[in-house]
Amino acid sequence: MEKRKLVVANLKMNFVYDEIKSYILQAKKEITTSQVVICPTSIYIPYFLQGNYALGVQNTADDSEGVYTGELSPKQAYSMGVKYTILGHSERRIKFNEDDLMVNKKVIEAIKHNLTVILCVGETQSERALRKTEQVVKRQLINCLRGLEYDMFHNIVIAYEPVWAIGSNITPTVEDIIGITNYIKNAVSSSYQYENIRVLYGGSVNEKNIRELNSINEVDGFLVGTASLDFQKLTKIINVVTY
């Protein structure tokens, strides 16, 4: 059976309400599959409900309720119809000092409350220059997935996102993507005996390079930032990946 590939639109902190209204209307009208996951800024989640896509948030806390001013609870997100949470994104790691330990706590809390985690891993430019990609990805996987039981892996999707490829219009070669995707799948299978982990690619995916990227059989979908802000570009990507 062919696996259903995912397209995850990470809208980051973009759009004021007037700007996102037409995006929401188009998404509700034109996206007909839950293979597409829209991750708007969480304040807009209620407006995105009742579409045929799945809904995700861009971060969730490492606890579910209580005295955490400004935090987003995975339990509350799930109660609103959210299905996915993006965790460990390099922007959170770099700008908010999230380390693997924090990401690990968030992963466990999110799965406890039925969310599917899109766990981002990937090396920086300097780590790549030192040929440390596999070492870095392995460390992130081991630390961020620590303590997970076998069944919890049904709720995990890994997104390989090299930090240097995010928003840069540069992507790794097809060979590099195949290599690291297989590396991640083998690492999860040998460490946790889980054979069906889905691995997405993210970093400068756009409507122009999607055909080539989508031809990589090992990759189970894409995490799309910049290109997902333009609904027409997102549609082109969806059409290539999901039909």
- Rounded Cα distance between 167 and 194, Å, is 32
Choose between 35 and 90: whose C-beta lies nearer to ligand PGA. 90
Q: How far is the CB of 113 from ligand PGA (least distance, A)?
A: 23
Place of tokens 């990805």: 137
| Contacting ligand PGA within 183-242 (CB under 6 A) | 202-205, 223-227
- Subset of residues 3 to 32 that bind ligand PGA, contact rule: CB under 6 A: 10
Using the rule CB under 6 A, is 167 a contact of ligand PGA? yes
| Exposure class string for 195-221: b at 16+ Cβ within 10 A, else e | eebbbbbbbbbbbeebeebbeeeebbb
Single-letter amino acid code for the residue at 58:
Q
The residue among 115 and 213 lying less far from ligand PGA, judged by its C-beta, is 213
Applying CB under 6 A, the site for ligand PGA has a residue count of 13
Q: In this structure, how many other beta carbons lie within 10 angstroms of the beta carbon of residue 82?
A: 26
- Residue closer to ligand PGA (CB basis): 168 or 189: 168
- Cα distances from 239 to residues 185, 218, 228, in angstroms, run 26, 19, 13
Contact between 38 and ligand PGA by CB under 6 A: the answer reads no
Q: Which stretch binds ligand PGA (CB under 6 A): 55-63, 76-84, 135-143, 159-167?
A: 159-167
Q: Nearest CA to 158 among 113, 114, 95, 107?
A: 107
- d(C-alpha 119, C-alpha 137), whole Å: 11
89, 91, 98, 109: the catalytic one is: 89
Residue in 91, 123, 161, 207 annotated catalytic: 161
Nearer to ligand PGA, 54 or 76 (CB): 54
x-or-dash string of contact with ligand PGA, 119-158, rule CB under 6 A: ----------------------------------------
Which tokens belong to 23? 């995006």
CA–CA gap between residue 92 and residue 26 (Å, rounded) = 29
Listed residue (123, 73, 60) closest to 94, CA to CA? 123
Active-site residue 89, yes or no?
A: yes
What is the closest distance, in whole angstroms, from the C-beta atom of residue 204 to ligand PGA in the complex?
Answer: 4
Shortest distance (Å) from residue 167 CB to ligand PGA = 4
207 contacts: CB under 8 Å, gap ≥ 6: 227, 232, 233, 236, 237
- Smaller CB separation from ligand PGA, 40 or 203: 203
What are the residue numbers of the active site? 89, 161
Which positions touch ligand PGA (CB under 6 A)? Answer: 10, 161, 166-167, 202-205, 223-227
